[in-house]
Structure 1
Amino acid sequence: MKLTEIQPQITTIIKNNSKTRDEKLLAICELLNSSVSYYNWVGFYFANHETQTLHLGPYVGSPTDHTVIPFGKGICGQVAVSNSNFVVPDVSAQDNYIACSFTVKSEIVIPLFVNGQNIGQIDIDSHIIDPFTAEDERFLEFVNQEVAKLY
């Protein structure tokens, strides 16, 4: 399935007034995980700027011990500081990487902005080396623009 074909489904999930925000976020994770073959773990982390930590929100995939991540630590923590997309083609080549599972080969993290502030991010792991393209980045930026409407 092309990523652009998923966009209307994302918008429909966001507009569904019968679901809570977390239910909508989980539905997005489920949709992405089931629709994109190389999206093997999909989740959201949200920032606590007072404690300089990220907190795991809704996700789909293998359980993780990384429910709280300090700003600057790992890929997610680096995005919390840089406010920039981070695509990691091969996690084994990253010095500041927090290993979730030996099956994870690559990762993409896209910050989530609300009113110009980075409030969190979408994090996707893949069991394939270097699957993420500029199209994935643009698509996930769209997802986060839609998610931002919930805040």
Structure 2
Amino acid sequence: MNFEQLKPQVKLILAKTNKTVDERLLSICELLESQIKYYNWVGFYFRNENKDELLLGPYIGKQTDHTVIPFGKGICGQVAVSNENFVVPDVAAQDNYIACSIDVKAEIVVPIFVNGENIGQIDIDSNTPDPFTEADERFLEFVCAEIAGILS
């Protein structure tokens, strides 16, 4: 399934107001992980109130010990500071990388902005080397913008 075909499904999931926000976010994780073959771990991290740390939210994939990530640490922590997408084609070549699994070869993190503030991010790990393209970035920016709409 291509990204354009997934967009209406993302909107449909987020429109289900009878579900909690976390339930809808988990459904987004499940959709992306099941429909995009190189998305092997899909999850969300959100800022912990006024602390400079991220807390793990809903996710799908192998269990992780990284439930709290300080700002600046790892790819997610760097995105919390930079407010910019971060695509890592080869995690082994990245100095400030927090290893979640030996299977992970690449990672992409895209921030979620609500009223101009970076409140969290979507984090995707891939067991495929260098799979992410500009199309992934644009699609994930769409997903994050749609999510921001239910969080504002």
**How far is 1:49 from its partner?**
5.1
Structure 1 residues without counterparts, runs of 5 or longer: none
Q: Does 1:149 align with 2:149?
A: yes
Give the alignment's Cα RMSD to 1 decimal: 0.6
What secondary structure is seen at the aligned counterpart in 1 of 2:135?
A: helix
**How far is 1:93 from its partner?**
0.2
Cα deviations by residue, 1:27-67 (Å, 9 ceiling, x for unpaired)? 00000000000000000000125220000000000000000
Identity score, percent? 67
Matches within 5 A, 1:20-99: 20-48=20-48, 50-99=50-99
Structure 1 counterpart of 2:127, which letter? H
Q: Does 1:2 align with 2:2?
A: yes
**How far is 1:74 from its partner?**
0.2
Cα deviations by residue, 1:57-87 (Å, 9 ceiling, x for unpaired)? 0000000000000000000000000000000
- Measure the CA separation in 1 of the matches of 2:79 and 2:26: 21
What secondary structure is seen at the aligned counterpart in 2 of 1:102?
A: coil
Structure 2 residues without counterparts, runs of 5 or longer: none
Matches within 5 A, 1:93-108: 93-108=93-108
What secondary structure is seen at the aligned counterpart in 2 of 1:104?
A: coil
- Measure the CA separation in 2 of the matches of 1:9 and 1:51: 34
Structure 2 counterpart of 1:127, which letter? N
Normalising by structure 1, report the TM-score.
0.99
| Count of matched residue positions in the alignment of Structure 1 and Structure 2 | 151
Normalising by structure 2, report the TM-score.
0.98
- Measure the CA separation in 2 of the matches of 1:18 and 1:49: 25
Structure 1 counterpart of 2:38, which letter? Y
- Measure the CA separation in 1 of the matches of 2:105 and 2:11: 30
Single out whichever of 127-136 and 49-58 deviates more from structure 2. 49-58
- Measure the CA separation in 1 of the matches of 2:71 and 2:48: 9
- Measure the CA separation in 2 of the matches of 1:4 and 1:87: 21
Structure 1 counterpart of 2:14, which letter? I
Q: Does 1:18 align with 2:18?
A: yes
